[in-house]
Amino acid sequence: MIQTINISQKLDLFNEYWSPRIVGELNDSHVKLVKLKGEFVWHQHENEDELFLVIKGKLLIKLRDRDLWLNEGEFVIIPKGAEHCPVAEEEVHVMLLEPKSTLNTGDQQNERTVEAQWI
């Protein structure tokens, strides 16, 4: 079914940080929304590229060789195999585009590992 998705309305449906919510499908990928605050874990995705689009706030993505700062309206594609660690000093709203097989913590299994839920 073809439908319009209101990003702000979807973001209002949850408050948890680091817990992506699926809002759509595109080919073999999920479109996800997530709220971030604090530092995540260093991880990589062996088989999946991942796109981070900042909707609100400012996001730091640490790489092993440098830091990337993303402002509202900016995105970055993290290629498969690139170790990274997202950091949000203040609350940040992000849209993720990643293959359906992508686990939020990549190669790390810990208390931050969650399965994305549909909203």
DSSP string, 25-50: EETTEEEEEEEEEEE---B--SS--E
Domain over 7-118 is classified CATH 1.20.140.10: no
pTM recorded for the entire structure? 0.91
> Is the Cα torsion angle 71, 99, 6, 18 positive or negative in sign?
negative
Q: State the pLDDT at residue 106.
A: 67
Residue 73, amino acid: G
Q: Kindly report, residue by residue over 22-50, the tens digit of the pLDDT.
A: 999 999 999 999 999 999 999 999 999 99
> Over the stretch 51-106, which tens digit does the pLDDT of each residue have?
999 999 999 999 999 999 999 999 999 999 999 999 999 999 999 999 888 867 66
Interval 61-72: pLDDT, tens: 999 999 999 999
- Residue ranges per structural domain of the chain: 7-118
Beta-sheet pairing, 21-26 with 117-118: parallel
